[in-house]
Structure 1
Amino acid sequence: MPAAKCFVRPTYGTDAVQIFKDIRYGQAVNPYSGKQTELLLDLYSPGYDPRPARPAVVLLHGGYLTGGDKTGDSMPDLAITLAQRGYLVASINYRLAPVSAISFQLLHSHPDRAQHIVEMVQEDAKAAVRFMRMMAKEWRIDVNRIVIGGDSAGAIAALYYAYVSGAPEGNSGNAGYSSAIHSVLAISGTLRGQAFCGTIDRELRAHNCKIRSPPAPDVVSQISRGDVPMLLWHGEKDQILPIDNARALWERAKAVGVPSFVLAIHNGGHVPIYEGLDPTKPYLEKWLSFVAGSLNLTEAQCPFSQAGTLEVAAK
């Protein structure tokens, strides 16, 4: 998957990125509160950009599925980094569960309950992707180049979205549009229940984990030939969701021919976003190149250049 260099280097300064806050993309009843929840997103758009079709990214924040919002977990910094390179980015809020619904004890005694909560988040994320397609003409979105991504709990939901079958489309909004996605950007995510570990050894294996599979779910085997590419961005010293999990996903993806890449942040902890965004470190170009390659952006128009012309993406 050759990288399109103009989607790796920044075309716009941070001050040229336009941010539109609290755009309503849907609504749904939260089954835990019984109340209707308005679903909102913040949109990050490149500056002056006349391209007729732009790749898009939908981001899901972390927070253990019980907290957080679209402005947390450095989601704005990640969104701005992508918008500087010509992506249209939506950072979304989604329905949350109460802390009591996803405790350690519950995960061990009723592991399917956590999966149901993840499905609720997926329903909202699918509504957001459908909303991007509904707005494709107005926002000039390339509907064949949409990434789903997130960190921690958001990354888990994104991975389930892309690789685990059986989740309903839900009723969060924008029926009649496709919720298909084309690439995944998972920061500190997992598809197996191994979490909150006591130690990480020299081989980056986790030990003494409070959550283990079994009884917690392990759905790594659902990654299948023909699935979309995955970027697994992970800290080597993450004890909350250890890099063991990323290794398991990568090994499965390799076995079935799904393009994948593990961005291992040396000595990084849980959700090492700033390390991956730091232009002085060896990570930024790597993950941007993988995302661009996963969307085949060598065939796309570059972001509007400083010279004032549209370019064809260079390999």
Structure 2
Amino acid sequence: MRIYLAFLKRATFLILIVLTTTIGNSQTRYEQKVFSDIKMKTYTYADTLKLDFYSIKKDTVTKKPLLILVHGGGFSGGKRDNPSEIKFCEDMAKRGYAVASISYRLVRKGNPLGFSCNCPADQKIETFVSVSKDILKATQFLIDKKDKLEFNPENIILIGSSAGAEAVLNTVFMKNEFSFKKLPYATIKYKGVISFAGAIVNANYITKNTAIPTMLFHGVKDNLVPYSTAPHHLCEEDKAGFIMLDGSLTIAEKLEQLDVAHTLVVDKSGTHNWASIPYSYTNLIAKFIKQNVLEKQNIQSTIKVKHKN
């Protein structure tokens, strides 16, 4: 009888493990926080540029999706390990994703022209290209370590805030534009992109060949990065920094024309504070990724919100 009870107890324990693993990996993983024990390791991916890699301790899934986060800061500031970035990365890692938060060259740091209307338009393009190059270098570094880091290189999603949002959108959609063509894309292909108050140089470069599932957060009254199509920082046409950018609304309209999955989250009274607010929208972001990237649904939607400061 003791042997039988011991066997029964062990069998029950093993069944519970299987059920727990099944629930964590199949039913709610990638959408809800089902893990609590995560780890982080810092790597140098190019020169002195570093990235922080977050994942679950003792994970049994070796082909998890990878999220790459690119911080904001006007290309002159910001950090990959600010509290909001850390909290976001930890939250998404607890849902079962591999997450990398990267640093990049802050090419406008210390430049007296800044990145507003005094910064010549050609320098703005050079800045965009520079950061896209770093994103691609970080991506290739991670891909080269895919077996060790246990993620699926065919399921990489870029996420960016403000300057980082401009960077990820340009990296994905502008690859066939002259200034971006020379970048080391190699065989890198992203499966999704998420923007917190971002814009691109020219939405006409969004085609059937470049379009991927896209999530866009933006405030209509953003006076730095345009919500639709307008000058960057609303610069006057006679200013050196005058350059037209296509924002979230224009991008969403283009994706709708191409019948590609996208979600536009818009606050009609929101400003550029929507560069940071979405860090708290992890439930919505995780749902978008799971449905439109991992399950390959083609959901096209606009979500109207009003954020209270």
Q: TM-score, normalised by structure 2?
A: 0.72
Partners of 2:101 and 2:199 in 1: how far apart? 20
Match of 1:158 in 2: 168
Match of 2:288 in 1: 290
| Deviation of the 1:93 alpha carbon | 0.6
Partners of 2:293 and 2:54 in 1: how far apart? 19
Unpaired segments ≥5 residues, structure 2? 1-25, 229-246, 298-309
1:75 to 85, 93, 98: 85
1:263 to 262, 265, 276: 265
Match of 1:24 in 2: 44
1:11 to 10, 23, 34: 34
Greater CA drift, 123-132 or 228-237 = 228-237
RMSD, matched Cα: 2.6
Aligned residue runs from structure 1 range 95-110, under 5 A:
95-98=105-108, 99-107=111-119, 110=120
SS at match of 1:243: coil
| Deviation of the 1:277 alpha carbon | 4.9
1:234 to 218, 237, 242: 218
| Deviation of the 1:295 alpha carbon | 2.2
Partners of 1:186 and 1:4 in 2: how far apart? 27
| Deviation of the 1:286 alpha carbon | 2.8
Partners of 1:273 and 1:96 in 2: how far apart? 18
| Deviation of the 1:148 alpha carbon | 1.2
Aligned residue runs from structure 1 range 150-229, under 5 A:
150-164=160-174, 165-166=176-177, 167-168=180-181, 170=183, 178-191=187-200, 218-226=201-209, 227-229=211-213
Greater CA drift, 61-70 or 228-237 = 228-237
Give yes or no for contact 2:215–2:262 (8 Å, CA) kept in 1.
yes
Task: Sort the Cα spacing of 1:246 and 1:4 in 2 relative to 1 into closer, same or farther, 3 A.
Answer: farther
**Runs in 1 of length 4+ with deviation above 4 angstroms?**
168-171, 265-268
| Deviation of the 1:285 alpha carbon | 3.2
Q: TM-score, normalised by structure 1?
A: 0.71
SS at match of 1:91: strand
Task: Sort the Cα spacing of 1:63 and 1:140 in 2 relative to 1 into closer, same or farther, 3 A.
Answer: same
Task: Sort the Cα spacing of 1:40 and 1:277 in 2 relative to 1 into closer, same or farther, 3 A.
Answer: closer
| Deviation of the 1:77 alpha carbon | 1.8
Give yes or no for contact 2:84–2:279 (8 Å, CA) kept in 1.
no
| Deviation of the 1:267 alpha carbon | 4.8
Give yes or no for contact 1:4–1:298 (8 Å, CA) kept in 2.
no
Unpaired segments ≥5 residues, structure 1? 28-37, 192-217, 300-315
Give yes or no for contact 2:74–2:115 (8 Å, CA) kept in 1.
no
Partners of 1:230 and 1:62 in 2: how far apart? 18
| Deviation of the 1:54 alpha carbon | 1.0
Aligned length: 248
| Deviation of the 1:78 alpha carbon | 1.6
**Which residue identity lines up with residue 46 of structure 2 in the other structure?**
G
Q: Which has the higher contact order (CA 8 A, sep 6+)?
A: 1
The share of aligned pairs that are identical, in percent, is 22
